[in-house]
Structure 1
Amino acid sequence: MNRFLFLFFMFFCVVALSQTKVGGAVVDEFGEPVPFADVLFKNSTEGTITDENGSFYLESDTTYEVLVVSFMGYETKEIELPNRVNYKMRVELLESSQQLGEVVVFGGKQPKKNNPAIDILRKIWSKKRENGLRKFKQYQYDKYEKVEFDLNTIDSALMKKKIFKGLEFVFQDLDTSRITGKTYLPIFLNETFSKVYGDNTTNVEKEDLLGNKNSGFENNQAIIAFVEDLYQDYDVYDNYLKFFDKSFTSPLSKTGIDTYNYVLRDSAFIDNKWCYNITYYPRRKNELTFKGDFWVNDSTYAIKNINLEVTKSANINWVKEIYIEQDFEVVSDSVFLLKRDYMLTDFSLRKKEESKGVYGKRTTVYNDYRFNIPKPKEFYRVKSNEYDPLVLNRDSIFWQNNRLEALNKDEKGVYQLLDTLKTVPKFKSFYNIVSILGSGYVEIDKWNVDLGDIYSVFGYNDAEGVRLRGGARTYFGQNDPWRLEGYMAYGFMDKKVKHGFSAKWLLDKKSRLIISGGNRRDVEQLGLSLTSTNDVLGRSIASSSVLTVGSNDRLTNINLSTFNLEVEPLTNFRVRVGSSLRTLSSALPEAFNLNYIDPESPTGISSEVKQFDVSTMIVYTPGKRTIGYGVERRSINDTYSTLLLNYTRGFEGFLESDFDYSKLQFSYSQPWQLGGFGRLMSTVEVGKTFGEVPLSLLNVVPGNQTLFTIYNTFPNLDFYEFVTDTYTSLHLEHNFNGRLFSRIPLIRKLNLREFVGLRGVWGELSQENMALSAPTNIPLQAPNKKIYYEYSVGVGNILKFFRIDFNFRGNYFENPDARRFSVTGEFGFHF
């Protein structure tokens, strides 16, 4: 289940103890909203600032009787609070008729020079390496985390909807958010307890997960992966903070001066430490920024407390609000260490105030800090088994002893609520529908089988015509040590049955020794990747595209059998040794053939290749994070690089194999987070084939005749337009995440995102290989005269889910039917 479907599931499936709550709007004497006005309880350090629409909400566990509202150029106003809860307040500020006194208020653009707040900010930069965990050679601490999802904006109209008929009992206990003031219903809770160890001298860190508990979804790996991916650790001292695949400029960043306005608002003692209070807010709208304030110590310049709230105009989808609080405790009189981290996210289909959605709340508590206890290097190399069954089945005594923050009444009720809901047929139906849409499989629990995937049922191509496919896989649980999977398909034009079958078995969990094999007999569009695939179940989008550019008739019949051994001796370092036996022939020989010269054939020409290969592949993915300990694991991040080295050896004569050759290939893919300028994806690939082989065993430069944007392909090349035995390619694609459009007033509200791409390939094809494949009815050409290149510009986030790219061919216009320009697109849900 992907992250968006999980949120929609939370939406569909589904007093206050604070002493003072206020909410409303600040306006001027003409009724216009006053953004970024200062709102705080009198004689306290508890406050907030209004958003772009002048709205505010503030809550405290302490009882206050007066609210103070101020803004530069207006008279400060004190409002008596007649009740503990005061909503829908309308605070009108009058234009100031006298000079400001000692009260510091703010608004509009703030100066960069002679600004005491920025002077303090510079001292924070210079001292940040001396604060917190960085002061020590080694460190360790306990970490408790709870993640909760709540259905929010509950009202009587929602409770009476038909979708909740039979589920009315879930509304018996409601609560109110101290951040937004909205009523919500807790419906999911996940708890973890772990010990963290780190060494600053070698820059390594290790986290041992000792306990994990969630409300009713222990065996749903997709939900666990969603929670892990959604809430990753961050450091407010970093220049950029990553949330939901986006990089937000930190208010403590060295680039913050150009991004935020800073104002020194107050100073006071906090925990016997004199601290300054600085308020900040963005200089421009629609950028990935925060507003809020922080308290900083006057001697160490360490952060004591910080609040961050994402502005509503920020270019991010499906998220209405993000609010973060971090509190630091003082240890040994001068060391400030993170004590509590709270993050609230309001997921919603729309950003309107009244729209309903789902709260995602993460609370992380840190305790028992210890320092300068060295550990051997081997300690950090050995990875703990994060999802050991014992970790998932800790008893109540374990949680009583290790919860660093007790559950409140509503959080305790989540476990009982989900146990009850799982017995309600209507809830189970909702859950099953969303699970099917997310995973693509229909679960048949009594058989321990999943049917699917449903997204491959229908297809079309020039060889098969209309194609129907059905498949299934074994599934006892997320950590199955073995798995069987297969499919059958039928083409109504060629009237042939196709199939694919795969089996894999995890022999050793510690080294992740896996044995696998399978067979596939199907029709495929080869040449969509320079690195050949041995996947017996996969299918390229080009093989089933209903709409294509030009004739899509260069399809291949493939009969592939594989056998592989894979091991992971070190974390994220995999070695796979395997063998394959392939039989390849054209699926449409009248339009496209794979003929080659064969002296042993009666006609001197053969149209089918039978080839046995042995390959060794090494894959290194530093930084990759996965969950699960079964034969199949799930990746929970996409920020890691991938280095791949593959050596293939073909043996002539063995199992009637036709050719003797060697092939060496290397690729390196790396995502680059360029701070506030977006994300760059890069891939470099090189390869060479030694020996004489026909077209079906050469490296085809991956063209793309579909209407879909496919990374690592050339959208202005036809299939098989360039063929090589030696090649080097480069792909660059940069997503600016709306940084440029946010500066254009007329279109900034559309939250569009800019893409640019550059692709190039150089290659050679020997005369021997060209002569061997001479009878083919397509021209054999390599981009050896000059580097073939393309470039593209694109616009994404159109209506929040569509992207369109305009692709331009750079050269080789003399090729037959060369396409100078193409338009491709993709659908998808992205934050």
Structure 2
Amino acid sequence: MKKTYKILIYALIFLGATVTGVSSAFAQKTIITGTVRDAVTKETLPYVSIFFNDTRIGTQTDIDGNFKISTNEDYNQLKFNYVGYEVLVKNIVVGQTQKVDVLLKSNAQSLNEVTIIAGKKRYSNKNNPAVELIRQVIEHKDENQPKAYETVQYKEYEKMLFSMSNISEKFKNKRMFRNYQFLFQEQDSTQIGGKNLLPIYIQEKLADQYLSFSPDKSKTVVLAEKQVQFDNRYIDNQGMKAYFDRMYQNINIYDNNISVMSNDFLSPIANSAPTFYKFFITDTLKNITPNVIELSFTPRNKGDMLFEGKIYITMDGNFAVQRASFGVNKNINLNFVRAMQIDLDFEKNVDKRYYLSKSTLIADFGINKNKGLGFTGERSVNYKEYKTNVEIPDTVFSGKKIEILAGAEKRSDDFWMKNRLDTIPEKQLKIYGNIDTLQNLPSFKRTMQIVTLLFAGYQNLGPYEIGPVNTFYSFNNVEGFRLRLGGRSTPEFSKRFYFENYAAYGFKDEKWKFFLSATYSLNNKSIYKFPQNYIRASFQRDTKIPGQELQFVQEDNFLLSFKRGVNDMLLYNDFYRVDYVREFENRFSYTVGFKKWSQTPAGGLVYSDASSNSYINRLTTSEFSVGLRYAKNEKFYQGKIYRTPIIDRYPIYNLKYTMGVKGLLGGEYNYHNIMGSIDKRFYVSQLGFTDVRLEGGYISGKLPFPLLAVHRANQTYAYQLNSYNLMNFLEFVSDHYASINIDHSFNGFFLNKIPLLNKLKLREIISFKAIYGGLRDENNPEKTNTGIYKMPTYENGMQRTYSLNKEPYMEGSVGLGNIFKFLRVDLVKRFNYLNNPEVSEWGIRTRVKLDF
């Protein structure tokens, strides 16, 4: 919920969801449904083309021969057209909802080139000419892709347009828009998004692309780019652009998997396509040279992550895709997507091969699948000036893979008019100015302030903002009720200096806690923007549960105050820190820091010397650290609190080294701590995706247990991806360890095939986590009692903290995701160490996450 790219999207959707009604009280809407059958066999006919007569407004029947079409215009006839059958025109009644069932008569003329497979006959790949044709396309895939050449270069023009869609007249005529009707645009009501649109974002980019395949190298030179700029107080423009780029990636139909809306879809010409798709030859186009066969395809299971539509195959021996038009079935397990349309056009090169000349992807989103305010995004890309097998100097590929020319963001309108590779309507160009006007509306500003407070948790007061609001109140067994209030400065205060602070008070322990930090930006950019380059000094006096590490949420979060089992261990900490952070455009970053840490146990946690049994009130360390991180091609969206990566298929590497120095500013121990991790998402086509995390660490030196690796535990009722959800806080410590976390989502692959249950659009999830480690004799109280602490115990004297023995700690879960489109529920099982006190073998955990 901290994702700033979603603030605008969901805010505008929710804002209008309650006020959206019918398009007009006086509009005459004609709605026709029905079924098309063979006049003789009475078998249903799939993919029959249906148009309002003398128009281009149309649809087609589904695999069962059913159709639905509507219009607000006064069309009174429907035309039905299907290869091998006579064209039929039916009269309809204007302004009414009606059912029209149609019987098509077979045409006496035979088509030698085409075999029609239709109706309710049992579908089979065997002896199916449509399948044989698609297998020829698959066999010739490598010959019809850019990698068939040694080098390729071309110009690329990209345009992305996003609009509020399906806007009712009531919403359009609200008082806040009364003087701003020019913001709205109209289109044919049968198009994706409906009649009324309110464009809110546009971006354009012109670039030269260079590809070499021996060896593989690529270079993008951005010649010009521009985009609508929102107020940075509410929207992260850079992050929003990165998110849209992730959702609307380049589409290569020749790839086995096509990434759309952050999901992988199996291509209709993937190697395994005949296993998951049904194919039908539905037309032959003789007026095109060479002749082209229209091949329709549909998923075998309508709920799978598959496309449906048509591809047009050349019959000149290339078996190349000449055109493609496809979308997704309405029953697909894809959240918020009302409609999607992808169109690909190919042109013949001088060597008689076909290259992609234009790609268009339009998707309409909404809370309600069928009606109400929504959000429509359109991305179109034009490709021109193809050159193949022309030598590209090595100097072209030197430097960054993406090079933005100086002044690219400041190109004149005249430059754009001369260099766009596609025409752009004048009304779309007005969006740049219209959005500036919209943002100056007082009502719009008030709405964005409220939404930012609800979703990001901060109330902007100009140079200072208060928040986050979800930390204002919480509770625990040691502090009792805890109140906290704080905030931070904004770029309006300074683009160089940033300050953050809070104060908190526990009514049970009657202690004040507080935090102060000062940050200086070395690159004169906001410290909340990429690339970061800053130095920060901070002091924090506050509590912490040992072993609790949270991602993308504050420990003060009220909902995390509810915990299972015995939860009375707490540390009072004083942190003095100085950190330097440096990020680079290639996604490599490093941090250098110094920390003095003084910790005092509280509640049920006691520090006592293993040899003398004397209590230790305070433990102090001084340490230097260096952290390295590399995430190839990483994109992310920046929130008010966190920067959240947009998960992709590239691995993320982390390495951190920490050195403790005895005698420096009261530090009591010398030690070395090295930790490394790798995070990677694996896409498994129709079986979903797997997130894997490998982690390991080693700590050298003779140390008490608080300075060892306290393994991440979770006693809340929230499912935490990188914690052990049935491990108790401070239950296990190690001075060397290795772990693996596996979380796999099937994206509904199995549940989509169960009648009735598939209506719920649930998604199956399984996970497994294991950690193997231990203690060297010098750090194990069972082996030595000099220079270390006793392991914590419960009030009854039973041991509370352990080392991992000869077997790893293991837990797993099975879960259901996408409940109400935002909730995940897991049944978690702990597999071993069940004899430890106060442990649970089973548990139910939940997680809130919005997914497409």
TM-score by length of 2: 0.85
List aligned pairs for 1:205-284, cutoff 5 A: 205-217=218-230, 219=232, 220=235, 221=237, 222-269=239-286, 272-284=289-301
Residues 274 and 442 of structure 1, relative CA distance in 2, 3 Å threshold: same
Which of 325, 328, 339 in structure 1 is aligned with 2:343?
325
SS at match of 1:134: helix
Could you list the per-position Cα deviations for residues 26-56 of structure 1 after superposition, in whole angstroms to 9, with x for gaps in the alignment?
Answer: 32589x9968432156999997533479335
Question: 1:338 pairs with 353, 356, 359, which one?
Answer: 356
1:13–1:427 contact (8 Å) kept in structure 2: no
Report the equivalent of 1:405: 422
Cα deviation for residue 653 of structure 1 reads 0.7
Q: Deviations over 1:543-574 (max 9, x none)?
A: 97221111221221121122233445672222
Q: Aligned pair 1:826/2:847, yes or no? A: yes
User: How far is 1:217 from its partner?
Assistant: 2.1
Give the match's secondary structure for 2:253.
coil
Given the alignment, which residue of 711, 723, 726 partners 2:736? 726
Equivalent of 2:506 in 491, 494, 498: 491
| Cα 1:556–1:640 shift into 2, 3 Å | farther
Q: Does 1:302 align with 2:320?
A: yes
Change (3 A) 1:55 1:361: farther
1:797 is the counterpart of 2:818: yes
1:172 Cα deviation from its structure 2 partner: 6.0
* Cα distance, 1:23 vs structure 2: 7.8
Please give the secondary structure, in 2, of the residue aligned with 1:273: coil
Q: Which residue of 2 aligns with 1:361?
A: 378
Structure 2 partner of 1:176: 188
Please show how residues 514-553 of structure 1 align to structure 2 within 5 Å.
514-529=534-549, 539-540=554-555, 545-553=560-568
String of CA shifts for 1:562-590, please: whole Å, max 9, x gaps.
223344567222233322111111132xx
For residue 401 of structure 1, report the CA deviation from its aligned partner.
2.4
Q: 1:565 to 1:152 in 2, by over 3 A?
A: closer
- Any conservation in 2 of the 1:76–1:93 contact (CA below 8 Å)? no
Structure 2 counterpart of 1:625: 635
Residue 564 of structure 1, aligned match among 569, 574, 579: 579
Q: Which residue of 2 aligns with 1:18?
A: none
TM-score by length of 1: 0.87
* One-letter amino acid matched to 2:338: K
* C-alpha distance in 2 between matches for 1:165 and 1:542: 38
Native 8 Å contact 2:47 2:61 kept in 1: yes
Cα shift at 1:325: 0.5
**How much does 1:818 deviate?**
2.3
Q: 1:116 to 1:48 in 2, by over 3 A?
A: farther
Structure 1 CA distance, aligned partners of 2:465 and 2:641?
16
Q: Which amino acid aligns with 1:670?
A: K
Distance of aligned partners of 1:78 and 1:545 in 2 relative to their CA distance in 1, 3 Å threshold: same
More displaced stretch, 221-230 vs 687-696: 221-230
Q: In the superposition, relative to structure 1, how do residues 784 and 194 fare at CA in structure 2: closer, same or farther (>3 Å)?
A: same
Matched, 1:594 2:607: yes
Q: 1:118 to 1:497 in 2, by over 3 A?
A: same
Task: Pick closer, same or farther for the CA change 1:76–1:594 going to 2, 3 Å.
Answer: farther
Worse overlay, 304-313 or 176-185: 176-185
2:302 alignment counterpart: 285
Mapped to 1, the partners of 2:283 and 2:817 lie a distance apart of 43
Counterpart contact for 1:525–1:543, Cα < 8 Å: no
2:246–2:262 Cα contact (<8 Å) kept: no
Q: Once the 2 structures are TM-superposed, how far is the Cα of residue 82 of structure 1 from its aligned partner? A: 10
Question: Does the 8 Å CA contact 2:157/2:382 hold for their aligned counterparts?
Answer: yes
Q: Which amino acid aligns with 2:657?
A: Y
Report Cα offsets for 1:258-291 as digits up to 9, x if no partner.
2111012222257633222101011112111211
Partner of 2:217: 204
Question: Structure 1 pair 119/35, CA: closer, same or farther in 2 (3 Å)?
Answer: closer
- Alpha-carbon distance between aligned partners in 2 of 1:255 and 1:88, rounded to the nearest angstrom: 42
CA distance in 2, matches of 1:56, 1:71: 20
Matched, 1:6 2:8: yes
Q: Distance in 1 between matches of 2:63 and 2:511?
A: 62
Deviation at 1:775, TM superposition (A): 6.5
In the TM superposition, what are the counterparts of 1:677-716 in structure 2 within 5 Å?
677-716=687-726
Provide the C-alpha distance between the structure 1 equivalents of 2:167 and 2:641, rounded to a whole number of angstroms. Answer: 42
Structure 2 partner of 1:652 = 662
CA contact (8 A) 1:562 1:578 kept: yes
State the distance in 1 between where 2:109 and 2:493 align.
Answer: 64
User: How do residues 352-501 of structure 1 correspond to structure 2 at under 5 angstroms?
Assistant: 352=370, 354-371=371-388, 372-376=390-394, 379-382=397-400, 384=402, 390-445=407-462, 447=463, 449-476=464-491, 483-501=498-516
How much does 1:459 deviate? Answer: 1.9
Q: Could you report, residue by residue, the CA deviation over 1:439-467 in whole angstroms, capped at 9, with x for unpaired residues?
A: 3322333x2x3332223222222222222
Answer whether contact 2:586 2:633 (CA < 8 A) is retained. no
> Structure 1 unaligned runs (5+)?
15-20
Is residue 184–residue 198 contact of structure 2 (8 Å, CA) maintained in 1?
Answer: no
Candidates 21, 27, 39, aligned match of 2:35: 27
Shift of 1:501: 3.2
**Cα distance change, pair 115–662 in 1 and its aligned pair in 2 (3 A):** same
Provide the rounded CA distance (Å) in 2 between the counterparts of 1:167 and 1:487. 43
2 CA distance for matches of 1:650 and 1:35? 75
Tell me which moved more, 233-242 or 484-493.
484-493
Per-residue deviation, residues 592-643 of structure 1 (Å, max 9, x unmatched)? 12334598xxx85423111011122222212313589x99977444443222
Change (3 A) 1:502 1:178: farther
Structure 1 CA distance for aligned equivalents of residues 589 and 830 of structure 2: 37
Q: How far apart in 2 are the matches of 1:256 and 1:624?
A: 30
1:773 partner letter: Y
- Root-mean-square deviation (CA, aligned residues, Å) is 3.8
Q: Is the 8 A contact 1:346 1:359 kept in 2?
A: yes
1:185 Cα deviation from its structure 2 partner: 1.5
C-alpha deviations, 1:306-345, integer Å up to 9, x for none?
0111100000111111111011111105121111111111
Rounded to whole Å, the distance in 1 between the matches of 2:581 and 2:70 is 56
Q: What displacement does 1:825 show?
A: 0.4
CA 1:23–1:380: 2 relative to 1, 3 Å: farther
Q: Distance in 2 between matches of 1:29 and 1:264?
A: 17
Secondary structure of 2:835's aligned partner:
coil
- Which stretch has the larger CA shift, 669-678 or 131-140? 131-140
1:58, 1:179 within 8 Å by CA — same for their partners in 2? no
Equivalent residue for 1:787, pick from 808, 830, 845: 808
Secondary structure in structure 2 of the residue aligned to 1:611:
strand
Relative distance call for 1:137 and 1:820 in structure 2 (3 A) is same
> Structure 2 matches for 1:753-772, cutoff 5 A?
753-769=763-779, 770=781, 771=785, 772=788
Shift of 1:117: 1.8
Match of 2:159 in 1: 146
Residue 407 and residue 44 in structure 1: after superposition, are their counterparts in 2 closer, same or farther (change >3 A)?
A: closer
Shift of 1:473: 2.8
CA–CA distance in structure 2, aligned partners of residues 215 and 569 of structure 1: 25
Q: Which amino acid aligns with 1:554?
A: M
Q: Would the alpha carbon gap of residues 542 and 683 (structure 1) be closer, same or farther in structure 2, given more than 3 Å must change? A: farther
- Structure 1 CA distance, aligned partners of 2:11 and 2:742? 36
Instruction: Please give the alpha-carbon distance, in whole angstroms, between the structure 2 residues aligned to 1:52 and 1:157.
Output: 37
Change in CA separation of 1:357 and 1:44 when aligned onto 2, cut-off 3 Å: closer
Contact 2:771 2:808 in 1 (8 A): yes
Q: 1:707 to 1:663 in 2, by over 3 A?
A: same
Which amino acid in 1 is paired with 2:60?
A: I
- Cα distance, 1:66 vs. partner? 7.8
* Equivalent residue number for residue 61 of structure 2: 50
Q: Which residue of 2 aligns with 1:17?
A: none
Q: Is the 8 A contact 1:765 1:781 kept in 2?
A: no
Q: Is the 8 A contact 2:83 2:283 kept in 1?
A: no
The one-letter amino acid paired with 1:346 is: D
**8 Å CA contact 1:436, 1:442 repeated in 2:** yes
1:705-733 deviations in whole A, cap 9, x for unaligned?
Answer: 10000012111111111111111111111
Which residue in 2 is equivalent to 1:137? Answer: 150
State percent identity of aligned pairs: 25
1:720-767 CA-partner distances (Å, limit 9, x unpaired): 111111111111111111001012113111111111111111221233
Deviation for aligned residue 1:663: 1.5
